[in-house]
Amino acid sequence: MYVCLCNAVTDRQIKQAIASGDNNLSDVKKRLGVANQCGKCAQLATKIIQSAVSERDNFYEVA
């Protein structure tokens, strides 16, 4: 689903950015441009980022 309409960024792209090492909205903003125009997507993007970081970190704890 599209998270950032201004930049056509999807939740899948955000999750891939987290898997590639991004850790927060600032990192994802630099990589994908999310939330760099109207900013309406920032809250949802942050929730997706936090969830993806948590999943990634839990995966590495178990592995």
d(CA 54, CA 57): 5
For ligand FES, the closer of residues 16 and 36 by Cβ is: 36
Burial call 28-41: b when 16+ CB within 10 Å, e when fewer: bbebbebbeeeeeb
- Part of the chain binding ligand FES (CB under 6 A), chosen from 12-20, 21-29, 30-38, 53-61: 30-38
Parallel, antiparallel or unpaired: strands 9-10 and 2-4? antiparallel
Out of 14, 25, 41, 52, name the contact with ligand FES by CB under 6 A.
Answer: 41
- Part of the chain binding ligand FES (CB under 6 A), chosen from 10-18, 21-29, 36-44, 50-58: 36-44
